[in-house]
Structures are given as structure tokens and as C-alpha cells.
Structure 1
Amino acid sequence: MPREHRSGEPDVTAALVRALLADQHPDLAWLPVAGDADPAAGVVRGWDNTMVRLGDRLAVRLPRHEAAEALLDREVAWLPVLGARTGLGLPAPVRTGVPAAGYPYRWAVVPWVAGTPAVHRPAAERDAYAGALAAGLRRLHVPAPPGAPANPFRGMPLASARERYAARWADLVPDLDPVVVRAAGVAWHDALAAPVHAGPPAWLHGDPHPDNTVLTDAAAGDPATAAAAGPGAPAGPPRPVLVDFGDLCAGDPASDLGIALTHFTPAGAAAFRARYDASRPADEALWRRARGWAIVVATILAVQPPEDALHAVGRDYLATLRP
């Protein structure tokens, strides 16, 4: 899904957001809407949704296409359940809306997570939060209840991605170092040969790549931490906060772990794995599958336009496969 405006896609403007709020949530309509003065300020365009900042603490999340509407419905239905189950502070929608004012899809008001998308930091800097991201995913990956949503592209056996991966890989190979191509082939086939997930389906974020990770102040939202540090204390490592749970599903944790590996250098990836495994028995097959998922997702990112920051994330991860 390209980030640029597509033919037939609804135009999201400050005026549209104001109209939707005035019609359905008038108590929020007085808040400042991003784009009033600068159309680009506080407006985040993802593959599936446009986020428009609303005041200091909220944002309006508007699907860009029909399939994204169903993903938003998933967040509305399940994020409160998962937040209560795990105790994680997940960005569950606080209000919902229906089509109006010429906008054709259901929409929501969600918490605004202030910070910097991790995709705009180099991998060597992202290594600083490897342990924190691993700990968060470990808490998230608890058994899911019956009826939890499935996702045909995440949490499934790795073999389900084989054909889509092969098509993208064929396009990438001419641009890659032959050493990387050979190493990726070895890792891919090893991942396919790994035993499949045998435990219960676990809750998954679905798409924890660096552009769905916001880096906030380590003490943000935690006055006790800030007070203990004292005035003038050096800042700690950034706190990674996962956003965009539209691909939330139940399945094999290997897909989440593989996507997370694309954040880091090999040293960061080793720290990530060590923290994730710290409170659980070692599962080598899980990490073999995760490495296959990392390659799959790296190819998705690497074929994005060069101006998309995720393009470099995918290319950089593939380069780490060099022996």
C-alpha cells in the first residue's frame, strides 16, 4: 500500500475532521486540529490510515481504504481485551465514529503517542531499546482466547509466505551483493525446515516494524521515575511504544519476532533475543522461523520507494545476513 494519495481515496483535511467531530463528538470539537495552520503538521500518513493530531493527547484515525476499516474495527474490539489481559498500556481507541460529511469509512479517536518514530533513527541507535522491546513483546505474547482474530499474512506457518516472498526476492536479487543473496538463501531454507509452532496461538502485534514504534522519553508518563532521576539527570534510553495494532492477531510469535529483528544491528538482535528468552525455555526452532520472517518482511520493506524510510530498514537488515 503506497503512502501517497491514491485515486478515489478520500481527502483528509482539518475541515473534514472538524465536521466529523462536530457531528458525532461535539465535546471534542473545540480541541485544536492539526493542519489548521500547516496541512503537514501533526498529520501522519501510514499505509492504511491517516492520523490527525487532536489537541495534545488525542488523534483522529481515519482509514484510507475499505480494507483498513476492518483493521480499525479489530483494534476497537480487541485492544481493550488485550490491554486488560497483559497490563500493557495499549493505545486503545477512546471514541468511534461512523461515515459522515462525505467521508465513507468508520473512524476513531485514539491516544496520541508523542515521540519520534524509530524508523528515523539508525539501527545502531535503535539497539539501545532492544531489551525494552523484547520485554514488551514477551508480555504481549500470551495465549489468545478462542475467537481471537487470525491474519492470513502474520502468525501463520512461514511456508504461507513462500510465493509472495519469491516474487519480491526475484525483483531484489539483481541489486544485492551475491554474498548476501547466498546467505539469505541459506537462512530462508533453514527457516522453512524448522518445526512449526506447536503451542497455543499467542497474541501478536502483527507488524512491529520501526515505523510502528514510537520512541518516547524513558520517564514519560512515569512521574516516579522522573523524580527518582532528579533534576539534570542524564536521560535514559528511549522507551519504545508500539502503535498501529491493525494487524493484531493470534498465531505463531515468530512473525512478530522476525519483524522486530529488522530494527537492530546483529549486536542489538542478540540483546533482543537474550531478553526475550530470559524468562522462558530456549526454543531454537522459534528463532529459526523468526529469522525467516525477518527476511520476508525485509523484502517487503526493501521494495518500498527509496524516499520511504522503511526502504533503508529492509536493505540494512538484508545486509546483516552477510557472513
Structure 2
Amino acid sequence: MPWELRDGEPVIGRALVRALLEEQHPDLAHLPLAEPVRGWDNTMVRLGERLALRLPRHAQAEALLDREVAWLPRLAAQLASPPASPLTVRSDGTAPAAGHTTTAIPAVPTPIRTGVPRTGYPFRWAVVPWVDGTPAVHVPLQVRDAYAAQLAAALRGLHQPAPADAPASAFRGVDLADVEDRFTRRWNAVAGDLGRERRDQLAEVWRRAVNAAPYSGPRIWLHGDPHPNNTVLAGVGGSRSCSPVLVDFGDLCAGDPASDLGSALLHFSRAGREAFRTTYDAGRVPDPALWARAHGWAVHYALIFAAQSPGEALRPLGRDLLA
């Protein structure tokens, strides 16, 4: 992860943030500001007790924020009115089985206000809700396993049919063949470091994924990146009673839900993955192809995470899955 500044990247400090607020949202400018925290794409600054500023660090991040601003209100409105029966997401697009109970509908952290480039800052920005808690990547595996069913229910609620004009992604929700060249490059870079048995196991997971029936159902809303560093445990100290809340919808798109499921599987141990799948599949007609593709996506994401720099929190997750 490029924790160092990119060429031309703005230096975001509290003085700059205060100036942006005073100019564009003066009624919020009196609220206390926390120290800026830099992520991959954005700098986050907590504003008072309930808000935060989301400030892109580069032009691509600005485009992702624009997607959240444009689409999260529409998604939130759709999720506030769930269908009469929960969606069954199957590779063949057939109708859900009767007799289900409705799955959980997740809260969507919709941007509250927006800002424009000013005062030495070149990008559009937003004021968003602050989700108080601990990023799931920083809690022990057994704590993550404890919320497997809750995360599965949240994704079942999110995975509803999207409108025709919903955004698409070249990297998520697509056929695995569309990312196979990237997978192959990453695989070739690490395969030699794996034991033969594990290398053969992972190669077989990928082979089954690309040979599984492709997705042919309706385009489904996807979070896009529901990994443990985009999941906040809302509670005290990351305890077992914490509830997972998905944040950072910059990769929001529509397509095959297998890519979301593959990312989500990286939260858990084998037992947690089984609990996650059991809850997600509750009341659904079995769809082995969906899970074959999901496990292929999990290996794909593990390769991406494992290649991150040593200070990146997701790196150990990727390496653990590959080991």
C-alpha cells in the first residue's frame, strides 16, 4: 500500500480540513476534528461524534467517491423497501423457492453532504456518517468467525437486483475469465513459494471456478470490496457481541455476487466459512456453481492481499489463506 505520498498528492491536515468546512459548510466548522488517517484511496477525518470527512487522495479515488454520492441514496432507498420474498441468487437466474423468511437489510452509510475543490485541495469530497467501532481486520480470527452469520445475512439483504443503469466494474462482479490474466500473473509470482500439495489444491480451486457455470441471473447489487478492512465491528472493544457494518462503498457495482462472496470468505476460518455459507444459503435452492466461483474469487483476492507491502493489514490474511 502506498502510504507515502504519490506525486502531486495533496497534504491533508486539520488546518486544510477546517478551511474547507469554514468555506463550504460553516455550520459544521465548530465541531472538533481528529487527526487525519490515510488509507489507500482516501484520508478520513472524524468530525465531532457522529460524522467524518472523506477526502480523496488521487483522481481515481475522487471518481469512486462520486459513485458513492450518486448511487448510495438510490441503493439505500431500494433496500428500505425490500421485496416480498428474499432474493435467491442462482447461476441460472431462476425464481426463489417459496416459504423463506426475509433476510437482514444492511444500513448504507450514505454521504450526508458534499464539497468541491477549494483552498489548495483539488478534489471533490464528502461528509459521511461515522461508524464507531474496530475494523474487523484488527480483531482475532475467532471474533470474526462469531459474526459469520450476521455478515452473510447482510450480504443476502444487499444482493438484490440492481437497476439497468447501475454501475459496472471491470474487476468485480464479472466473469472470472475477465480477470484470469491478472490472476495468472500474480499466481506465477507466488506459486514457487508454496508447497506442492497446497499449490495443487489452490490450482484446483481456480480450475473448478473458471469451469463452473457462468452467472446468468439478473445483475445484483454488490458492495464490491467487503473484506475485513472495509468491515467495522460496531461495539465495544471488538467483543463477540459486535455487529459487522460494511463501509467504503467506492467499488459499488452490479453483477455476479460470487465476487462479493469470495471477498467475504477471507474473513473466516474453515468453520466460519461454513457458517457464512449456511446462513447465506438458507432457504435457497443449492447453487454449487456460485460457490465454486466464490472460492475462485477468494484465491484471486488472497493473491492481491498477499502481494501488499508488509505494513498493509490485509497482507497476513492473504498469506494465511495461501499457506
Show the 5 A alignment for 1:233-312.
Answer: 237-312=241-316
Q: Could you say which residue in structure 2 is the equivalent of 1:3?
A: 3
Q: Could you say which residue in structure 2 is the equivalent of 1:107?
A: 125
Q: Could you say which residue in structure 2 is the equivalent of 1:45?
A: 38
- Per-residue CA deviation, residues 71-127 of structure 1 (Å, 9 max, x unaligned), is 001101111111111133211100000000110000000011110000012323210
Q: Which residues of structure 2 form unaligned runs of 5+?
A: 81-105
Q: Shift of the alpha carbon at 1:259?
A: 0.3
Q: Shift of the alpha carbon at 1:5?
A: 2.2
Q: TM-score, normalised by structure 2?
A: 0.89
Counterpart of 1:80, as a letter, is P
Q: Could you say which residue in structure 2 is the equivalent of 1:23?
A: 23
Counterpart of 2:321, as a letter, is Y
Q: Shift of the alpha carbon at 1:238?
A: 1.4
- Per-residue CA deviation, residues 25-76 of structure 1 (Å, 9 max, x unaligned), is 00000000112xxxxxxx3322111111111111100011101111001101
What is the distance in 1 between the residues matched to 2:128 and 2:73?
Answer: 12
What is the distance in 2 between the residues matched to 1:175 and 1:149?
Answer: 38
Secondary structure of the structure 1 residue equivalent to 2:77: helix
Counterpart of 2:43, as a letter, is T
Q: Could you say which residue in structure 2 is the equivalent of 1:71?
A: 64
Name the CA shift for 1:312/1:102 in 2 (closer, same or farther; >3 Å). Answer: same
What is the distance in 2 between the residues matched to 1:2 and 1:277?
Answer: 38
Q: Could you say which residue in structure 2 is the equivalent of 1:95?
A: 113
What is the distance in 1 between the residues matched to 2:60 and 2:283?
Answer: 37
Secondary structure of the structure 1 residue equivalent to 2:44: strand
Q: Could you say which residue in structure 1 is the equivalent of 2:97?
A: none
Q: Could you say which residue in structure 2 is the equivalent of 1:149?
A: 167
Q: Could you say which residue in structure 2 is the equivalent of 1:173?
A: 191
Counterpart of 2:294, as a letter, is A
Q: Could you tell which deviates more after superposition, 100-109 or 116-125?
A: 116-125
What is the distance in 1 between the residues matched to 2:11 and 2:56?
Answer: 11
What is the distance in 1 between the residues matched to 2:4 and 2:151?
Answer: 29
Q: Shift of the alpha carbon at 1:182?
A: 1.1
Q: Shift of the alpha carbon at 1:176?
A: 2.2
Secondary structure of the structure 2 residue equivalent to 1:278: coil
Q: Could you say which residue in structure 2 is the equivalent of 1:224?
A: none
What is the distance in 1 between the residues matched to 2:46 and 2:159?
Answer: 30
Q: Shift of the alpha carbon at 1:2?
A: 2.3
What is the distance in 1 between the residues matched to 2:196 and 2:41?
Answer: 34
Candidates 55, 58, 82, aligned match of 1:62: 55
Secondary structure of the structure 2 residue equivalent to 1:101: coil
Counterpart of 1:164, as a letter, is R
| Matched-pair contact (CA < 8 Å) for 2:107–2:245 | no
Give 1 or 2: higher helix fraction: 1
Q: TM-score, normalised by structure 1?
A: 0.89
Counterpart of 2:191, as a letter, is V
Q: Could you tell which deviates more after superposition, 47-56 or 116-125?
A: 116-125
Show the 5 A alignment for 1:116-131.
Answer: 116-131=134-149
Q: Which residues of structure 1 form unaligned runs of 5+?
A: 36-42, 219-234
Q: Shift of the alpha carbon at 1:217?
A: 1.7
Counterpart of 2:214, as a letter, is V
Q: Could you say which residue in structure 1 is the equivalent of 2:317?
A: 313
| Matched-pair contact (CA < 8 Å) for 2:143–2:240 | no
Secondary structure of the structure 1 residue equivalent to 2:267: coil
What is the distance in 1 between the residues matched to 2:271 and 2:138?
Answer: 19
Instruction: Calculate the aligned-residue CA RMSD, in Å.
Output: 1.4
Q: Could you say which residue in structure 2 is the equivalent of 1:40?
A: none
| Matched-pair contact (CA < 8 Å) for 2:136–2:229 | yes
Counterpart of 1:209, as a letter, is H
What is the distance in 2 between the residues matched to 1:5 and 1:172?
Answer: 28
